[in-house]
């Protein structure tokens, strides 16, 4: 079986019922990086895990980065690794505060 690269994995805790969050995040990332991502995989896990990995390397983890991140921050983290020239639209605009 061929693996398309870059490969993004979202591991989520099934006991915490985080599948909806994982699928929403996958949809957000696939929509934003449809030409840059080769594959997105949802990986069932346990023990409160919610981790996003790009080609096996952790990009963001609930365990080490505390609370959940928002989609805009995760998009920036992914973009910086796979498509630095990719503009993220309104999620990159500076806040008024």
**Mind listing the pLDDT tens digit for each residue in 48-79?**
999 999 999 999 999 988 777 788 999 999 99
Is the per-residue pLDDT at 38 higher than 50?
yes
CA-angle at 16, arms to 79 and 81, nearest 5°: 10
Question: 79 is written with which tokens?
Answer: 């973009």
Question: 57 is written with which tokens?
Answer: 């390397």
60: closest CA among 19, 8, 17, 95?
8
Residue 92, pLDDT score: 58
90 compared with 13, residue with greater pLDDT: 13
Phi, psi of 43 (to 5 degrees): -120, 110
Is the per-residue pLDDT at 94 higher than 60?
no
Residue 44, pLDDT score: 98
* Minimum mean pLDDT range among 12-16, 53-57, 82-86: 82-86
pTM (two decimals) = 0.85
């Amino acid at each position: 079986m061929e693996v398309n690269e870059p490969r993004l994995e979202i591991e989520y805790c099934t006991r915490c019922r985080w599948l909806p969050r994982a699928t929403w995040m996958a949809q957000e990332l696939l929509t934003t990086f449809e030409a840059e991502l080769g594959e997105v995989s949802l990986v069932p896990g346990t023990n409160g895990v919610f981790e996003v990995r790009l080609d096996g390397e952790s990009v963001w983890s609930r365990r080490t980065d505390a609370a959940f991140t928002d989609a805009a921050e995760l998009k920036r983290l992914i973009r910086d690794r796979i498509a630095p020239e990719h503009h993220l639209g309104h999620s990159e605009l500076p806040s008024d505060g």
